[in-house]
Chain A
Amino acid sequence: MSATNLLTVSYSPHQFGSESVQKIMYRVLIAMVPAFTVSLIFFGLGALVVTGIAVVSCMAFEYLINRFMFKAGSTLWDGSAAVTGVLLAFNVPSNLPVWMIIIGSLVAIGIAKMSFGGLGKNPFNPALVGRVFLLISFPVQMTSWPKAIESRLAYLDATTGATPLAILKEGIKNGQPLSDLMKEVPGYAQMFLGNMGGSLGEISALALIIGGLYLIFKKVITWHIPGSILATVVLFTGILWMIDPGKYADPLFHLLAGGIMLGAIFMATDMVTSPMTPVGQIIFGAGIGLITCLIRIFGSYPEGVSFAILIMNAFVPLIDKYAKPKRFGEELKNG
């Protein structure tokens, strides 16, 4: 026996699974490919520029903060900054000026993520903090939506129109009947495919669902959060619709319009800012669904997914405290 061999001594376990943070982040990036492809089809150049700038600036800020403020090793290649970049881009219109995207990235990475200590430490979803910061600071630019297909070759000079949710909100405020307004919004099949105005990554329910199924299949997320958000939206809007179909839009409209799919599948499922147990995740999702509907139907903003997720992010520690997993041997069950 070679006596020169130095043996490692450590506590068990001595073998580890193949899962890693990088793999999880890269799977999220892969899951966003269908939605990104759809945004290229409908918004073309603008989608490409906005996403590119957002990813590059998020990664750059993460690198610079690590290097010069934390003076720590780079966490660039764990992929989380790139994920934040794509998600930020998905949440803004495709004609947003470059400097605003850079400011949004700085807020997302610098304030929402790194100031709390980096990956895993942030209480709020960084991309959404970036988005809401931009929405409040630059409400005009953040709510001018390039028209799908028409503005494919344009970036800043894109022709703009309203989103289905904005058409409804404005119209109802002006006292127009819902049936007239519904003629102005694209058909449900077109909305399902993504042929409508909106943030560049939120338009296609189909592409987002494909990405979501991939994430569930790869065990990055579970059905609990998206399932409970969508179910709550269907339930809440469904009840109102049944009470007065002449005044309230049907549940399918609410599922296809706005950012609910993007929010339910990609934003709310962010592991860092969502509860740990399935029960907690269902409470969290139901809260998001409820707040979204309240803002959409009774609030002054046409859309409320971002606010709903950020509000529920704040409740995560509380939910985690009470929604514990069922312990083994908790109940005296014999048989």
Chain B
Amino acid sequence: MKTFPRGGVHPPENKKASGFSIEVLPLPKSVCIHLSQHLGAPAEPLVAKGDTVKAGQLIAKSTGFVSANIHSPVSGTVQKIEPAPDSSGYKRPAIFIEVQGDEWLETIDRSPNLIKSPDLTSEEIIARVGQMGIVGLGGATFPSHVKITVPKGKKAEILIINGVECEPYLTSDHRLMLEKGEEILVGTQLLMKALRVNQAVIGIERNKPDAISHLTRLCARYPGIRVEALKVKYPQGGEKQLIKAITGREVPSGRLPIDVGAVVYNVGTAFAVYEAITKNKPLFERIVTVTGKSMERTANYLVRIGTPVTELIEATGGMPEDTGKVINGGPMMGKALPLLDVPVTKGTSGIVLMPVAESNRRTTMNCIRCSRCNSVCAMGLEPYFLMSLGEAKRWDDMEQERVMDCMECGSCSYTCPSGRPLLDYIRLGKNSVNRIIRSRSK
């Protein structure tokens, strides 16, 4: 059984919601759509106050290569365009739409019929992925058309579909693989065609045996695509770790997966690509897991982008008495929400409600040099050393020690017996080193 060789931790899985089928969440009264819900430049609004829009209509246009189109998730009237808090708590420009009915663009095929791979060229697929506002749905929200465009002089050899879902609690990808398996495979075929590769591997950890057997069975009819069952270990869903686990190749420091001939997409992204190409449907809804230790009911919802988080929690039976923290994403890499009326964005994979007892940091003690942070770091870094460099503000040394390789998986802070905030100082270092690198290139 394959896995990445170095580092990793085994946090309790707590995947309570894995047995619950995807439910369609009722439409909210109004939605709030941020212009920056992808990595890169914010989109530019194309609508004004008072305009009526249909679901699927382009309402904000990509402003560069690394940027993404945004489409209206609902039909209704544009109420206002003004800054509103996003999941970080800061106000960022957003379009507010009052929901009226549920009218979709006529070009979108709303039937549930499966459409097998249509006859499109590589260029047509790439263009359509860009038009439809697709971004990486695993959480990084990197615009998908960027990764699909192989730079000159480089060659993609293998497409990897990420069905690892190594974050505890989250089950949205798991449900999608069970319920939309065939669609994911068609999406994968389309991506293979766009990248001009003839092999694709779907990586799934073996704690999801039903998804592994389901997709393996379906793969028989899709030449070139196979499923690779992986040993359970966090952070296997990390792009570099997954490539290493499946192909044995190591993406060099500071380089991209394409440098070793690999391109990685989340299963959710493959599904979005299927819908965009065969159904003409832009990315305006996604699967979101709502779960928590003290929640009586947990669920996986199909949610329109822009729906307030409070509506998701309400629909799942409200916030339990003992809630101390609400996380946008999983407990290892997600962001704690400072307020709850923020909207779901393209990157929201789950909402996790943590009980008060588990919401606080632990007391920090001296480092006892146990080396556990070293041994769990999947990038081969020395978190204890980076933290002491960070405390001393030695940014140049941090750069030397490869702080920029850190993907912030949190394994070091998770494992530290002294409860030290290792990742906090590493982040501080990354920010400062980033600033230094930018000023250098000026």
A interface residues, Cβ below 8 angstroms from B: 1-2, 5, 7-17, 19-21, 23-24, 78, 117-121, 271-272, 274, 276-277, 320, 324-335
**Is residue B372 within 8 Å, beta carbon to beta carbon, of the partner chain?**
yes
The 17 sampled A-B contact pairs (Cβ below 8 Å) are A5-B323, A7-B323, A7-B324, A12-B331, A13-B410, A14-B336, A15-B358, A16-B413, A21-B368, A21-B417, A120-B366, A120-B369, A276-B369, A329-B252, A330-B250, A333-B248, A333-B249
The answer to whether B362 touches A16 (Cβ under 8 A) is yes
| Chain B positions within 8 Å of A118 at CB level | 366
The answer to whether B332 touches A14 (Cβ under 8 A) is yes
The answer to whether B332 touches A325 (Cβ under 8 A) is no
| Chain B positions within 8 Å of A2 at CB level | 319, 321
The answer to whether B334 touches A7 (Cβ under 8 A) is no
B316-353 at interface with A (beta carbon < 8 Å)? 318-319, 321, 323-327, 331-338, 340, 352
- A1 in contact with B377 given A15-B414, A17-B9, A277-B371 (CB within 8 Å): no
Candidate in B253, B379, B413 with the most chain A CB atoms within 10 angstroms: B413
The answer to whether A120 touches B367 (Cβ under 8 A) is yes
- A334 in contact with B417 given A327-B402, A328-B250 (CB within 8 Å): no
**Complex-state Cα separation, A8 to B361, whole angstroms:** 10
**Complex-state Cα separation, A137 to B367, whole angstroms:** 32
The answer to whether B423 touches A13 (Cβ under 8 A) is yes
**Complex-state Cα separation, A209 to B142, whole angstroms:** 53
**Is residue B380 within 8 Å, beta carbon to beta carbon, of the partner chain?**
yes
The count of residues in chain B whose C-beta lies closer than 8 Å to any C-beta of chain A is 78
Say how far B367's CB is from chain A's closest CB, in angstroms: 5
**Is residue B147 within 8 Å, beta carbon to beta carbon, of the partner chain?**
no
The answer to whether B319 touches A330 (Cβ under 8 A) is no
B388-418 at interface with A (beta carbon < 8 Å)? 402, 405, 408, 410-411, 413-418
**Complex-state Cα separation, A296 to B340, whole angstroms:** 69
- A271 in contact with B369 given A13-B333, A330-B253 (CB within 8 Å): yes
Besides A14-B334, A120-B366, A320-B385, 4 other A-B contacts (C-beta < 8 A): A1-B340, A119-B366, A329-B240, A334-B249
Say how far B280's CB is from chain A's closest CB, in angstroms: 37
| Chain A positions within 8 Å of B321 at CB level | 2
| Chain B positions within 8 Å of A274 at CB level | 369
Q: Nearest CB to that of A277 among chain B residues? A: B374
The answer to whether B332 touches A329 (Cβ under 8 A) is no
**Is residue B91 within 8 Å, beta carbon to beta carbon, of the partner chain?**
no
Say how far A118's CB is from chain B's closest CB, in angstroms: 6
A-B residue pair count with CB separations less than 8 angstroms: 173
| Chain A positions within 8 Å of B421 at CB level | 11
Say how far A22's CB is from chain B's closest CB, in angstroms: 9
B interface residues, Cβ below 8 angstroms from A: 6, 9, 11-12, 89, 168, 240, 244, 248-253, 255, 260-261, 310, 313-314, 318-319, 321, 323-327, 331-338, 340, 352, 354, 356, 358-362, 365-372, 374, 377-382, 384-385, 402, 405, 408, 410-411, 413-419, 421, 423-424, 427
The answer to whether B410 touches A12 (Cβ under 8 A) is yes
Candidate in A5, A15, A24 with the most chain B CB atoms within 10 angstroms: A15
The answer to whether B382 touches A276 (Cβ under 8 A) is yes
> Is chain A's interface secondary structure helix, strand, loop, or mixed overall?
loop
Q: Nearest CB to that of A15 among chain B residues? A: B331
- A328 in contact with B371 given A1-B310, A21-B418, A78-B365 (CB within 8 Å): no
**Complex-state Cα separation, A9 to B356, whole angstroms:** 12
* Those 6 A-B pairs whose CB atoms lie nearest each other, nearest first: A13-B410, A120-B366, A19-B417, A327-B380, A15-B331, A14-B331
- A13 in contact with B332 given A7-B325, A329-B240 (CB within 8 Å): yes
Q: Nearest CB to that of B418 among chain A residues? A: A21
**Complex-state Cα separation, A330 to B240, whole angstroms:** 13
The answer to whether A13 touches B414 (Cβ under 8 A) is yes
Query: Of B11, B314, B336, B385, which is within 8 A of A10 by CB?
Result: B336
- A327 in contact with B379 given A1-B318, A334-B249 (CB within 8 Å): yes
**Complex-state Cα separation, A328 to B369, whole angstroms:** 22
The answer to whether A21 touches B327 (Cβ under 8 A) is no
Query: Of A78, A271, A330, which is within 8 A of B370 by CB?
Result: A271
The answer to whether A7 touches B338 (Cβ under 8 A) is yes
The answer to whether B253 touches A17 (Cβ under 8 A) is no
| Chain B positions within 8 Å of A335 at CB level | 248-249
The answer to whether A9 touches B382 (Cβ under 8 A) is no
Candidate in B250, B314, B360, B371 with the most chain A CB atoms within 10 angstroms: B371
The answer to whether A9 touches B365 (Cβ under 8 A) is no
**Complex-state Cα separation, A325 to B402, whole angstroms:** 12
Query: Of A12, A15, A20, A325, which is within 8 A of B335 by CB?
Result: A12
**Complex-state Cα separation, A276 to B369, whole angstroms:** 7
| Chain B positions within 8 Å of A331 at CB level | 250
- A328 in contact with B331 given A1-B314, A120-B368 (CB within 8 Å): no
| Chain B positions within 8 Å of A20 at CB level | 417-419
**Complex-state Cα separation, A276 to B359, whole angstroms:** 31
Q: Nearest CB to that of B335 among chain A residues? A: A12
| Chain B positions within 8 Å of A19 at CB level | 372, 415-417
Candidate in B9, B244, B369, B424 with the most chain A CB atoms within 10 angstroms: B369
| Chain A positions within 8 Å of B12 at CB level | 15
**Complex-state Cα separation, A320 to B385, whole angstroms:** 10
The answer to whether A9 touches B338 (Cβ under 8 A) is yes
